[in-house]
Chain A
Amino acid sequence: DTEVTQTPKHLVMGMTNKKSLKCEQHMGHRAMYWYKQKAKKPPELMFVYSYEKLSINESVPSRFSPECPNSSLLNLHLHALQPEDSALYLCASSQVRALNEQFFGPGTRLTVL
Chain B
Amino acid sequence: SQQGEEDPQALSIQEGENATMNCSYKTSINNLQWYRQNSGRGLVHLILIRSNEREKHSGRLRVTLDTSKKSSSLLITASRAADTASYFCATEGYYGNNRLAFGKGNQVVVIP
Contact = CB atoms under 8 A, between A and B. Distances in A.
Interface of A: 4, 31, 33, 40-45, 48, 50, 55-56, 88, 90, 92, 94, 96-107, 109
Interface of B: 2, 30-31, 33, 35, 40-45, 48, 50, 88, 92, 95-105
Nearest to B5: A42
Given A31-B98, A42-B103, A55-B98, A101 B40 contact: no
Given A56-B97, A99-B31, A99-B96, 11 more contacts: A42-B104, A42-B105, A43-B88, A55-B98, A90-B43, A98-B30, A100-B96, A103-B45, A104-B43, A106-B42, A107-B41
Contacts of A96: 98
A42 B88 contact: yes
Given A4-B42, A107-B41, A107-B42, A50 B50 contact: no
Contact of A102 (B30, B41, B45, B104): B45
Contacts of A50: 98
Nearest to A100: B98
Contacts of A106: 41-42
